[in-house]
Structures are given as structure tokens and as C-alpha cells.
Copies of this chain bind each other. A is one copy, B any other.
Amino acid sequence: MIAVLKPGVTEAQKNNLIKWLKDQGVGVHVSEGQFQTIIGLIGDTSRIDPDLLTGLDIIENVTRISEPFKCANRRFHPLDTVVTVGAGENAVQIGGGHFAIIAGPCSVESEAQIIGVAQRVKASGAKLLRGGAFKPRTSPYDFQGLGLDGLRLLIKAREETGLPIVTEIMSDKYLDEFAEHVDLIQVGARNMQNFELLKELGSLHKPILLKRGLSSTIKEWLMSAEYIMSRGNENIILCERGIRSYDSYTRNVLDLAAVPLVKELSHLPIIVDPSHATGKSRLVPRMSLAAVAAGTDGLIIEVHNDPAHALCDGPQSLTPEQFDALARQIQTLQAAL
């Protein structure tokens, strides 16, 4: 971190600042120029809040040189993290060259539906089953999911197909059930900065699927991963799912450049959700292929046996037939790349 002092700062003010900085445990290197005094902070500056420094009335300007995240930072952990989801013969690896597709309906609706979809997507090559049991809905009057009953149906679908299951946690109320039964615990976009929930998840050993917030920056997203990792749980998979746009034509803008950018900054795997990003099933195949070309470690795709009558997000779901065709195209594309 570099701090530039304002012109006219006295020796006493400068020395006070330097003393305070050293008390915080960082090294200090002072460079006196003809016009400006520049103070370089050396060591673990992640504990210095640049906003706080900026607020001091003797400071002109503060610049961070290194990123504020440590556990998630590729600089300190150059090798790709590979996250293992599930156990035994059905365990799936994601990251570091291991690619996987997660598929399933937006919401779990019935035993027949979830098992039927699970069998279909498995046959097409999906490696994990998704399905919402607790649903974050903008309106309190919209379908909120089957709750624990939905979770039980997911477990049945896993028993039938062997696919590890992925589902969203919305509060710590059912943390024990999630920790015991869910293979990959999803944190939704609206909870990306629910810091209390992130801290709780940091004490589990289960892999976490951390979706990007509705309009979060890449750094904020990695800082949310850092919340979980700094408590001890390093099994994080990031998920780009589109960011808020001024154009009402699509629900969100899918930010595919986030894939190579995140891979530069961090060693964590990153997957893409083309279904929520576009909100339109007819855009999902093209955006899935684009995500693969951009280097994603996986995809999470909504598939429903009857999208027109789905209880939520029908318009963005593929049919099993459409998913099967897409899965083949993805294989062809990966072979070429």
C-alpha cells in the first residue's frame, strides 16, 4: 500500500503517522521527494483499512498494490484448487482441469419430477444434481420451495442415481441438515454478503458454491470467499451468474471475462450459470458453449421435464432433450479446445 502525504504536513504529524502504522504491525518505507512525501507500507497490509487511512487529514491519496484477500489469492497459492464433491465412487472433482456439469430443476416439486429429471440429466452426462428446496423469491407471495421435504426428495434422487446433490442454503436455521446431507452447499447471489452465514459455513467441511452477488465486484466476491476460507473451509467453487444491467432485455449480463480474470487472481475453481444469467432458455446453449470456450471449470444448468408448468423460473429451463443435445455439443467443443 502506498500513501501520499498532503503538501505542508509537519515533521511531527508525519512521525505520528509512521509510529501508528508500525504499531499496526506493518513495515514503513518513507520517500521524501521535492514535492511529495510518499509512504510505502510493507508486509501484511490486509489488516490496514485504506478508507481509514484516506480519512486522515494529512493524507492526499492511498493506493493498494496487493489484493486484500490472502487465502483466495493465487499469489500465495499458485496451484489450482481442486474441489471434491460427494464421496466414494460418485465423487466429482471440479477445478484444475476437471470439468463437470450440474443440472436439474430450479425447484424440487415432487418425487417423480426430481428423480425423473435426475435420471435424464445423468444419462446425458451431468455429474451433479441441482434442485431448490428453499427458494429466495422477490415476492413473499411466490412459491418459496418445499423446504425440508424438498431436501428429502433430493436425497432420494441421490439414492436412485448416485448423483451428488447441490442446493441453496438461505439461513443457518438448517445448517446441521445441510452439513449432514448436502454435497455442495450453494450460497445464492442475494446472500453473497450475508457475512454471518459465510462465517458459519467457514466452520463446515462441506464444499460451498458461492454465487456472485447481483452487482458485486470481482474483489467483493473474492472477499466473501475469504470470509469462508479464513475460518478454515477452503473448499469453495465460485459461480458467475450474471450481473445487473440497465437493459431490461435480458435479466442480467453474463460477465464471461470474469472466468479468466478470477483464474488470474485466485486459485479457486469457477463455474458459470447461463440459466439465471440470461433468464431465457433459448440463449442457454450458446452461452454454455461460450462459457466453455472462456475456460469455465463447469456449468450449472436448469433442466425441467415440463418447463412451461414449472413452479418457478420455467422460462429459463431446458427440456431433457435440449440438455442432452447441449451436453453433446459441449463434449465436442472440449475435445477441440
Chain A residues with a Cβ under 8 A of chain B = 2, 4, 27, 29, 31, 33-36, 38, 40, 42, 46-47, 49, 51-52, 54-57, 60-61, 63, 65, 68-69, 136-143, 170-173, 190-191, 193-197, 199, 213-215, 217-220, 223, 226-227, 230-231, 243-250, 253-257, 259-261, 264, 277-279, 282-283, 286-287, 289-295, 307-308, 310-315, 329, 332-333, 335-337
Are B253 and A243 in contact, with the CB atoms below 8 A? Answer: yes
Known A190-B194, A253-B257, A290-B294: A34·B38 in contact at CB below 8 Å: no
Q: How many chain copies does the complex carry?
A: 4
Residues of B within 8 A of A310 (CB): 52, 55
A293 interface neighbour in B27, B264, B293, Cβ under 8 Å: B293
In the bound complex, residues from chain B placing their C-beta under 8 Å from that of A261 are 249-250, 283
Q: SS class of chain A's interface: helix, strand, loop or mixed?
A: mixed
Task: Report B-chain residues with C-beta under 8 Å of the C-beta of A243.
Answer: 245, 247, 253
How long is the Cα–Cα vector from A260 to B294 in the complex, in angstroms? 17
CB-contact partner of A247 in B60, B218, B231, B292, under 8 A: B218
Cβ contact of A29, chosen from B33, B56, B138, cutoff 8 A: B33
